Amino acid sequence: MMRFVLRRLVQLVPTLIGVSVIVFLMMRMVPGDPARQALGPEATGDEVAILHHQWGLDQPLPVQYVYWLGRALHGDFGRSTVSRVTVTQEIWARFPNTLALTFASMAVSVVVGLTLGIVAAVKPNTLIDRASMVVALLGVCTPSFWLGLMLIVLFSVDLGWLPSFGSGGMAHLALPALTLGTAASAIIARVTRSSMLEVLGEDYVRTARAKGITDRSVIINHALKNALIPIITILGLQFGGLLSGAIVVETVFAFPGVGLLLINAINNRDFPIVQGAMLLFTLEFVLANLLVDVVYGRVDPRIVYS
């Protein structure tokens, strides 16, 4: 197990380097000058040239990248071109908010998704099954930004129950978490239904029922336990997706997380912040998938890591 984890961590290095190269080049292709953006439209050409030299923007792209990579390997991702605060400080100041939103959204998606999927699988081809899958389909098809705006109109503007922006407690997390968790819950529901239907048709499930075991025990202890592998897979993918998907939702709700920081950095041509945030999202996604692979062995002892 430890050898497998170490090998996967080593494979993470070229992934991060590849992502850093892509993000580095894409940001340099975006129209706009970060120095001009930082100094304002009234800055003179000499002032812009001086700032270019200070930030190394007057060097060839390969030289800029190697210089940035060398500092990044030592934990120095540069400073924001807007606030002049280090990238690490900017990101870690907002990361707890994004992480809280992700876990809250994951809780919503797991509870709703597993419930819909199990109910639909236990009562296949019934009105309950069809209704559950229609709800799941709507969840997949509904854009997050539109759903967020509708929830703001309903619960914030019309009813006045929940705040529509900012952070500060569970009340501020409710609407963003519901928005972000809806699509994930729909996908989890569909995968859970498919996996449960396959397991419920197995001989050991029929044998358990023939022994007089209650339906609840059969579903939870026999069927769901053996249907967990594909469900865990999709949970890991959705967790990584929720971390990166928070960008849209944080923008809609003005939620002060890494996603909103990234959007503002893109608008301001803040190259260091964009590069640091994208590396963080990549690292989170890869580590989430690694955690899923480790959990496989705990859920199913037949899985052996070579």
Residue 283 lies in a domain: yes
Range of the domain at 189: 87-299
pLDDT tens-digit series, residues 189-243: 888 888 888 877 777 777 777 777 777 777 777 777 777 777 777 777 777 777 7
Rounded average pLDDT over 146-165: 83
Stretch 113-133: mean pLDDT: 83
Q: How confident is the model at residue 35, as a pLDDT?
A: 72
Whether 260 is in a domain gets the answer: yes
Average pLDDT, stretch 108-137? Answer: 83
**Residue with more model confidence, 105 or 29:** 105
**Model confidence at 299, in pLDDT bands (50, 70, 90)?**
low
Residue 184 has pLDDT above 60, yes or no: yes
pLDDT at 277: 84
Supply the angle between the helices 271-299 and 87-122 in degrees, to the nearest 10.
Answer: 40
User: Is residue 55's pLDDT more than 70?
Assistant: yes
Q: Is 200 part of a structural domain of the chain?
A: yes
Q: pLDDT per residue over 66-115, tens digit each?
A: 887 788 877 777 788 777 788 888 888 888 888 888 888 888 888 888 88
Question: Dihedral (C-alpha) 133, 138, 141, 142: value to the nearest 10 degrees?
Answer: -150
CATH number where 255 lies: 1.10.3720.10
| Paired tokens of 263 | 């959007």
Model-level pTM? 0.77
290 close to 5: Cβ distance less than 8 angstroms: yes
Of 154, 98, 148, 161, nearest to 253 by C-alpha is: 148
Nearest 10 degrees: CA dihedral of 37, 41, 43, 47? 30
**Does a structural domain hold residue 55?**
no
Question: Would you give the DSSP letter of residue 168?
Answer: S
HSE, CB side, 13 Å, CA atoms: give it for residue 1.
9
**Residue 31 domain-assigned?**
no
Instruction: Tell me the C-alpha distance between 41 and 296, whole Å.
Output: 56
Residue 143 lies in a domain: yes
Into how many domains does the chain fold?
1
Residue 104 lies in a domain: yes
pLDDT per residue as tens digits for the range 256-268: 888 888 888 888 7
A 10 A CB-CB count for 156 gives 16
Position 144 in a domain: yes
The residue with greater pLDDT, 62 or 34, is: 62
For residues 104 and 272, give the distance between their C-alpha atoms in angstroms, rounded to a whole number. Answer: 29
| Mean pLDDT value of segment 10-27 | 79
pLDDT of residue 4: 66
CA pair distance 258, 289, nearest whole angstrom: 20
Alpha carbon distance 119, 193 (integer Å): 8
Check: CB of residue 152 under 8 Å from CB of residue 172.
no
